[in-house]
Amino acid sequence: MTLDDTLASLFPNGSKIATTGAMIAGQAILPDGGPVHVLGVTQGQPLGVDEAIVLAGRVIEIVKSGDRAPILVLVDSASQRMSKRDELLGLSEYLSHLAKSLLLAEAEGHRTVGLLYGGSAAGAFIATALATATLVALPGAHPAVMDLPSMARVTKLPIDVLKAKAEATPVFAPGLDNMMQTGGIHVVWNESAPLAPQLAAVLRRPQGQDDRARLGAERGGRRKAAEIADRVVTLAAAAHQGAQHG
Amino acid sequence: MEKLSFRLTAPRCAGGTRTQAIVGVVASGNLEVLLERASPADMCTIDIATAAHGFGAVWDAVVRDFVARRSAGGLRISINDGGARPDTVALRLAQGVRKIEEPER
Amino acid sequence: MTTAKADNVSLSWYEASARQRIDAFVDAGSFAELIGPELREMSPHLAIFDLPEQFDDGIVVGRGRLDGVPVLVAAQEGRFMGGAFGEVHGAKLTGLLRAARALHQDVLILFDTGGVRLQEANAGELAIAEIMRAVIEARRAGIHVLGLIGGRAGCYGGGSLIAGTCSRLIVSEQGRISVSGPEVIETNKGIEEFDSRDRALVWRTMGGKHRYLIGGADAFVDDEALAFRQAAIDALKTMRGCDVAVLEAEQKRLERRLQRFGEAADAVEIWQALGIDQPTGIPALPTAAFLRAASNRENADDAR
C-alpha cells in the first residue's frame, strides 16, 4: 500500500496533509465527523535533530490548542540519523523531546496512535511509534532494532547462526511478527478491508495503562517483563509499609 | 556454559551474621561470587557456571584450596564466571568470605 | 542503623561497580535491594547465545535514603554486557519507576549503559519505551527522576533517550551521552564521518563537558561518589513536573541550540560561539576552572 492509498483508506471523508521533505503533517476527518491530527516520518528516512524538533513542535502546538483530538503518527523511517553533527548537537535530547511531547499529548487527553506502515529502527522507532499509546502496523511493516548483518558483526556470530537462533525466539531478530509477539505492536491491520473502521476501533479502546508487557507475556514473546515489573512494585510497597510500621 | 558442582567438608565455619554477600561482576576475565548461609556448618557447596569449557581440574584445585584455607563452612557459594584466571577466582572467593563476615550495621 | 551521612571515603565513580556506587552514594547502611541476586532473576535469553548470566541481570534496584529522605535507586553495571538493557534488566527499572509513583518517592538512575542488549533486542527496545513512559508518568505526578552519568559504558543508545526524559542530569567528565556510539557511526557512515579511534574527538563530541556546556546536563561534578551525592541532594530541591510549559520551554531551548550551533563542524566551534576564551583548552581544565569557564554555557534551567 502506498502512503496515498493508506491515507485514502483511513480518511474517506477527506484529509489535508502536507509533505515537507521526509515529514508529513496535517489534519483529517474521522468517520464520526471529528478531527484527527496526522503527522509522521515517511520514505524510510532517518530521524535527526532537524526532523525531531519540527515534529515535536507540531505536537506541542496541538496540545496547546486544547482540542483533545486524536493524533495519528505515521511511521516509515530508517533509524536515528547517524552523524557527527546530530550527536554533537545532542540528538538524544531531541529524540526524547519528541517522545515526551507525544506522551504529554496522551496525558493531556489526546488519543495517540502510531501506524507503522514501513520500516523503523532503534532511536527513531522509540521516539515516534513506541511513544504512542497504541501502536498498530500494516502487513509488510518491518521494525528493527538493528539489521541482522550488523547484529552479526557486533555479536561476532555468523549470520546463518543468528538466523537459526531467530527461528527459536522472537526476542532479538527484526521483523513485524517478532515485535507483535513481544507486545510492542497492538494489532496488525487488515489492508484488504477499509482502514477507517479499524482506526475507529482502536480509538474506542479504553485509555490508560501501558499494556505492552502484558501483551508480550500473553503472546509468549516476553514472558518475564510484566511479572518482574509488578513484583518490584509489590516488594517496594511492602517494604515501605514495613518501614512505616516497623 | 559449563556447569560444575562441588560439595566439600569445611574445617572452619564462616563467621559473622550476614545472610548473604556478593562480589565481582560477570565480564571477560572476571566473575561474580554469591555467598549464602545455606549449608551445614561443616560443609561448603560451590556451584559454577563458566563460559570457559574444560577447566574442571583447575576449578577443583582452586575451590579445594579455598575451602581448606578459609572459613567457608555453612556457605552455599554460586559463581557466574566470564573466564577468570585462577588467581582472580581465589581473590574473589576470599573477598566474598570477608564480606559475609563483615559486621552488620 | 541508618545515618543521614554517606561513608566518607573517596571513590571514583568511573572505576566503581554498580554496588559500590550505591553504597557510597546513599546514606550509609540505608540501602535495601528489591529482587536481589539471591533470587537469581537472570536473563532467560543469554543461554541461547551460550553467554554467561549475572544474578542481578546487570542492574541493582532498591530503596535507600539520601540525606535522610527516602528515595528509590537503580544502578546499572556497565561491565556486565556493557550495562545493556534486556528484558529483566529493563523490567526492574520499569517496576521501580511505577513504585515511585505509588510511594511518591524520588528516583535516582545511575546510568552505565551501551543501550539495548542485542541478544534480546526487541525486549530491550520495548523496555526502553516502557521506562520512558514510566518516567514521564512519575514526573507528572510530581516525582523527580534524576539521571547520574559517569560510568565506564557511558550512556548510549536507548539509555541516552531515557536520560533525555529525566528531570535533571548530573554528569562527570567521563559521562558520555550519545544515541549512536562512535563505532556505530563509523561502521555505518565511514571513518570520514567519525573516527572512533580518535578518543579526543569522542570526548569532546559526546563527553560530559560538552553536554554540560550546551545544556545537555544540569550539573557537572568530579569523578567522585560524594560529588554525585551532593549534586543529587541539591537537584532534588529544584522544580518538579512535566507539563506543556516545561516541554514548550524545552522546544525553545532546543530550537535555539540549532540556531546557534547548527552549522558548527566541531565542539570547539560551539565552545567558541559560547564566548569561551580558550576553547581548545576546555578538555584539559580541572573541574573548578572548567566551571568558571562555563559560566556562559547554555542552561537548561527547568526546560527539560
How many domains are there within chain B?
A: 1
Q: Which strand (E) or helix (H) includes residue C177?
A: strand C177-178
Cβ-proximal residues to C93 (8 Å cutoff; 6+ apart), any chain: C59, C61, C74, C109, C127, C131
Alpha-carbon Rg for chain C in angstroms: 19
Predicted pLDDT of residue A198: 98
Predicted pLDDT of residue A146: 85
Alpha-carbon torsion C64, C66, C67, C68, what sign?
A: negative
Amino acid C301 reads D
Min distance B1 CA to chain C CA atoms (Å): 6
Min distance A53 CA to chain C CA atoms (Å): 7
Calculate the CA C304 to chain-centre distance: 14
Q: Is it the case that chain A and chain C have 3 or more CB pairs lying under 8 Å apart?
A: yes
Neighbours of A209 (CB within 10 A): 11
- Check CB contact under 8 Å for C163 and A92: yes
The set of chains that have 3 or more CB pairs under 8 A with C is: A, B
Please report, in angstroms and rounded to a whole number, the separation of the first and last CA atoms in chain A. 63
CA A15/CA A75 separation, integer angstroms? 17
- Check CB contact under 8 Å for B51 and C52: yes
Q: Is it the case that chain A and chain B have 3 or more CB pairs lying under 8 Å apart?
A: no
CA C293/CA C285 separation, integer angstroms? 9
Give the single-character DSSP code of B103. P
Q: Is C19 on the interface with B (CB under 8 A)?
A: yes
Min distance A87 CA to chain C CA atoms (Å): 6
Residue B81 above 70 pLDDT?
Answer: yes
- Check CB contact under 8 Å for C29 and B50: no
pLDDT in tens, C205-240: 999 999 999 999 999 999 999 999 999 999 999 988
- Residue C178: its chain A contacts at CB < 8 A? 87, 91-92
CA A206/CA A204 separation, integer angstroms? 6
Nearest beta carbon to residue A236 from set C34, C116, C264: C34
Residue C89 above 90 pLDDT?
Answer: yes
- Check CB contact under 8 Å for A64 and C248: yes
ipTM at complex level: 0.97
> Backbone phi, then psi, for A227, in 5-degree steps?
-65, -45
Q: Mind listing the domains of chain C with CATH numbers? A: 18-241 (3.90.226.10)
How do beta strands C32-34 and A134-137 pair?
A: unpaired
Residue C200 above 70 pLDDT?
Answer: yes
Task: Determine what percent of chain C is predicted with pLDDT higher than 90.
Answer: 93
Predicted pLDDT of residue C3: 67
pLDDT in tens, B31-79: 999 999 998 999 999 999 999 999 999 999 999 999 999 999 999 999 9
Q: Which residues of chain A have pLDDT under 70?
A: 245-246
The topology under which CATH files domain A3-139+189-208 is: 2-enoyl-CoA Hydratase; Chain A, domain 1 (3.90.226)
> CA nearest C182: which of C201, C163, C164, C168?
C201
pLDDT in tens, C151-191: 999 999 999 999 999 999 999 999 999 999 999 999 889 99
For residue C11, CA distances in Å to B34, C21, C67 come to 23, 8, 18
pLDDT in tens, B7-28: 999 999 999 999 999 999 999 9
Cell output for C173: 567528565
**Long-range CB contact pairs, A186-195, < 8 A, 24+:** A186/A134, A186/A135, A186/A136, A186/A215, A187/A136, A187/A137, A188/A136, A188/A137, A188/A138, A188/A139, A188/A141, A189/A136, A189/A137, A189/A138, A189/A139, A191/A1, A191/A9, A191/A138, A191/A139, A194/A9, A194/A12, A195/A6, A195/A9, A195/A10
- Check CB contact under 8 Å for B34 and C38: yes
Predicted pLDDT of residue A4: 93
Q: Which of A89-93, A147-151, C57-61, C69-73 has the lowest mean pLDDT?
A: A147-151
Residue with cell 572512533: C196
Residue A218, classed as helix, strand or coil, is: helix
CA–CA–CA angle A9, A137, A61 (5° rounding):
75
- Put simply, the chain C residues between 104 and 163 with a CB less than 8 A from any chain B CB are none
CA C50/CA B85 separation, integer angstroms? 20
Give the mean model confidence (pLDDT) for residues C96-102: 97
What integer best gives the mean pLDDT of chain C? 96
Q: Is B49 on the interface with C (CB under 8 A)?
A: yes
Question: Count of alpha carbons within 13 Å of B105, Cβ hemisphere only?
Answer: 12
Alpha-carbon torsion C210, C212, C216, C222, what sign?
A: positive
Residue with cell 539509555: C159
Min distance B36 CA to chain C CA atoms (Å): 8
- Check CB contact under 8 Å for A232 and C124: no
Nearest beta carbon to residue C98 from set A151, A179, A229: A229
Residue C27 above 80 pLDDT?
Answer: yes
Domain-by-domain residue ranges, chain A?
A: 3-139+189-208
Nearest beta carbon to residue C122 from set A82, A172, A224: A172
Min distance C20 CA to chain B CA atoms (Å): 10
Residue with cell 510492542: A184
For B82, the domain range is: 2-101
Neighbours of C70 (CB within 10 A): 16
Min distance B26 CA to chain C CA atoms (Å): 6
Predicted pLDDT of residue C290: 98
Confidence of residue C65 (pLDDT cuts 50, 70, 90): very high
Cβ-proximal residues to A89 (8 Å cutoff; 6+ apart), any chain: A49, C214, C257, C258, C261, C262
Predicted pLDDT of residue C4: 78
CA–CA–CA angle A221, A226, A228 (5° rounding):
115
CA A64/CA C151 separation, integer angstroms? 39
Residue C1 above 90 pLDDT?
Answer: no
Min distance C121 CA to chain B CA atoms (Å): 20
Predicted pLDDT of residue C2: 56
- Check CB contact under 8 Å for B30 and C79: yes
Q: Are C119 and C86 in contact (CB under 8 A)?
A: yes
- Establish, for the pair of chains B and C, how many residue pairs have beta carbons separated by less than 8 Å: 45
Confidence of residue C112 (pLDDT cuts 50, 70, 90): very high
CA C127/CA A222 separation, integer angstroms? 10
Q: Are A36 and A30 in contact (CB under 8 A)?
A: yes
Using CB atoms within 10 Å of the CB of residue A244, give its burial: 0 to 12 exposed, 13 to 18 middle, 19+ buried.
Answer: exposed
Residue C38 above 70 pLDDT?
Answer: yes
Cell output for C128: 526502553
Q: Are C65 and C39 in contact (CB under 8 A)?
A: no
Nearest beta carbon to residue A145 from set C116, C132, C211: C116
CA A115/CA A131 separation, integer angstroms? 12
Residue B75, classed as helix, strand or coil, is: strand
Give the single-character DSSP code of C194. -
- Check CB contact under 8 Å for C53 and B80: yes
- Residue A122: its chain C contacts at CB < 8 A? 116, 125, 157-158, 179
